[in-house]
Structure 1
Amino acid sequence: MDLTQFNTAGIVWLTVAAIAISYILQSSFLSWYRLRHIPGPFLASISSLWNVLNIVTGRTSPVLEKLPGRYGPLVRTGPNYVLTDDAEILRHVNGVRSTYPRNGWYEGFRVDEYDHMGSHIDTSVHDAIKSKVIGGYNGKDGIDLEGAIGSQVKTLVSEIRRTRGSRPRSRPRWMPARWSRSSP
């Protein structure tokens, strides 16, 4: 067979196809290889097609609920995604001085395009903000939270009694049940 018999366009298309197939195989292998130690559905380990199929068929939630029972507490659900139902793993991943970086998912918590402690991806910035507000969460700042809430509830109840009287009405002026549909 003489190579001059081949069409130049055919050789170009053959080369492009070989490069594309090589790229797809290499990227699939690298996607699988990085998290190969985490069990999960095989199709989920090499592409996002597994997630797309579950979304299109509308069975994402039931399928994801069953995965930890089948594969264990840490399950691979995509080339770069894992799922867990273990609180200890979550504490380890989100804990102080964790080596796991935050991904773009946290950017969804932005409010009016401003970053806050929950939306920062950069761990050092997140930790700096967290160190400034930690006093409000650790309970060592001397605020009697239950007492403050209790006094506000008492104030609210006394204000309601003062303006509306101490006895509730026997029947409200409007009844939402009148406008609702009765079930057979």
Structure 2
Amino acid sequence: MDTGSSHLIEYSTALGALAVIYYVLPYLLDPYEYRRFSGPPLAGLTNWWMHSVVKGGRHCEVVQQLHEKYGTFVRLGPNHISIADPDALEAVYGHSSGTLKSDFYHSFKNGPRTNTFNTLDRVEHSKKRRRLANMFSPQNVLAFQPRVRSHIRELSKEIGAAGYFVVDIGDIPSLPAFVERITKEAPEVDCLLNNAGIQKPLNFEQSADLGAITQEINTNITGLVHLCALFIPHLKQKPHASIQNVGSGLAYVPISVVPVYCATKAFVKSFTLSLREQLRSTNINVVEISPPLVESDLHRDHANPDNNKKTNAPHALTQEEWITYVEKGWDEGKEEIGAGFSQVGIDAWRKAFGESHSKMASQSH
């Protein structure tokens, strides 16, 4: 063994020992007796566990599940104890409690100045609190209430005016009555966005669930087609209207674990192309929205339901990121909207078959 390799091994061993000392020793010594609080094993050693949860976008959901499992107190980090008890608010956050805020509140600072929420200095917090105290006196709070209630009523009225209807897209016989109700109670509707979808892992080599297959096809295909057919007469009466069908990048390159889902999205692609040509001379604009891998609950039936989260798939988009692409596509008047992998599929299809499709579509009229 040469000297360089020997030194590398020594350095690696030393770094490993330091890591053990840094993470494990405080856990074992436990000067504040935090080990008496239950929680995920890794959380007691390092903050990286919580970092991965927050990055995955499911922080609130995961913490709630942990409290349901472990109870009122849950250890979420080496120095992080979560308390789920309203009676703890005064004891922990009360001005006279004696507890201090953690460095976490630095993330809420915008520049060098602080406010009552993000300052960590108790003296500074007391000064700022005194300046605001009169505003939140019982007398002033009572005086604010009529104005607050007025704004709440106005907001509730706006939300209520938006309206909503509930339907199972896979329940095909119920769709005509559903559409009739919407067009009567909300005649201003001028857009149909077919976003409902089911994605189930199926293994035909073993034993595929026929009921699950039927449900997936009804939701992803049959319901979508029926809604288009039922809404078109109503949409044609509008000056401007649109049908937006949500496909998938998997329509172009399927993966075998979800064979029916991929096939249904290939159908959506084909159907939307034909529907667009048939309605080309009308006031209805037909758009294909083709998402790539996006963080959502679509994979809830997978062995790993989080395999579409950034923690497991760095190339996945958050819902906010994907919506930005969709809004940009709308602003640009695109008939096919994608991003990343799905946009590659759209472009490749257009390059290979776009000209042929245009010729064949023109011959059908």
Classify the TM-score, shorter chain.
0.5 to 0.7
8 A Cα contact 1:106 1:119, kept in partner = yes
Which amino acid is 1:85 matched to?
A: A
Question: 1:178 and 1:125, CA in 2 relative to 1: closer, same or farther beyond 3 A?
Answer: same
Question: 1:107 and 1:47, CA in 2 relative to 1: closer, same or farther beyond 3 A?
Answer: closer
For 1:87 and 1:130, locate their aligned partners in 2 and report how far apart those are by CA, in whole Å: 23
Please name the residue that 2:320 is paired with: none
Q: Secondary structure at the match of 2:123?
A: helix
8 A Cα contact 1:102 1:123, kept in partner = no
| 1:178 to 2:189 alignment | yes
Which amino acid is 2:117 matched to?
A: G
Q: Secondary structure at the match of 2:126?
A: helix
Question: 1:118 and 1:68, CA in 2 relative to 1: closer, same or farther beyond 3 A?
Answer: same
Which amino acid is 1:36 matched to?
A: R
Please name the residue that 2:84 is paired with: 85
Question: 1:132 and 1:38, CA in 2 relative to 1: closer, same or farther beyond 3 A?
Answer: same
Question: 1:102 and 1:8, CA in 2 relative to 1: closer, same or farther beyond 3 A?
Answer: same
Out of 3, 11, 27, which is 1:16 matched to? 11
8 A Cα contact 1:31 1:45, kept in partner = no
Which amino acid is 1:177 matched to?
A: E
Which amino acid is 1:11 matched to?
A: S
Q: What does residue range 1-184 of structure 1 map to in structure 2 within 5 Å?
A: 7-32=2-27, 33=30, 34=32, 35-54=34-53, 59-111=58-110, 114-140=113-139, 144-146=143-145, 149=147, 177-181=188-192, 184=227
* % same residue: 19
RMSD: 3.4
The Cα shift of 1:141 comes to: 6.3
Query: Which shows bigger deviation, 45-54 or 87-96?
Result: 45-54
8 A Cα contact 1:110 1:119, kept in partner = yes
The Cα shift of 1:84 comes to: 2.2
The Cα shift of 1:107 comes to: 2.9
Q: Secondary structure at the match of 2:76?
A: strand
For 2:145 and 2:107, locate their aligned partners in 1 and report how far apart those are by CA, in whole Å: 33
For 1:139 and 1:180, locate their aligned partners in 2 and report how far apart those are by CA, in whole Å: 48
Question: 1:49 and 1:89, CA in 2 relative to 1: closer, same or farther beyond 3 A?
Answer: same
For 2:49 and 2:142, locate their aligned partners in 1 and report how far apart those are by CA, in whole Å: 50
Which amino acid is 1:17 matched to?
A: S
Structure 2 runs not aligned, ≥5 long: 152-185, 195-226, 228-365
For 2:26 and 2:71, locate their aligned partners in 1 and report how far apart those are by CA, in whole Å: 21
The Cα shift of 1:70 comes to: 1.6
Which amino acid is 2:15 matched to?
A: A
User: Normalised by the size of structure 2, how large is the TM-score?
Assistant: 0.36
For 1:142 and 1:44, locate their aligned partners in 2 and report how far apart those are by CA, in whole Å: 41
For 1:120 and 1:103, locate their aligned partners in 2 and report how far apart those are by CA, in whole Å: 10
Which amino acid is 2:115 matched to?
A: H
For 1:123 and 1:138, locate their aligned partners in 2 and report how far apart those are by CA, in whole Å: 21
Question: 1:104 and 1:48, CA in 2 relative to 1: closer, same or farther beyond 3 A?
Answer: closer
User: Normalised by the size of structure 1, how large is the TM-score?
Assistant: 0.66
The Cα shift of 1:57 comes to: 6.1
* Deviations, residues 69-112 of structure 1 (Å, cap 9, x unaligned): 22121211122323222122232111123332212332333356
For 1:31 and 1:131, locate their aligned partners in 2 and report how far apart those are by CA, in whole Å: 39
Question: 1:112 and 1:14, CA in 2 relative to 1: closer, same or farther beyond 3 A?
Answer: closer
Structure 1 runs not aligned, ≥5 long: 1-5, 154-174
Q: Secondary structure at the match of 2:105?
A: helix
Question: 1:73 and 1:20, CA in 2 relative to 1: closer, same or farther beyond 3 A?
Answer: same
8 A Cα contact 2:135 2:141, kept in partner = no
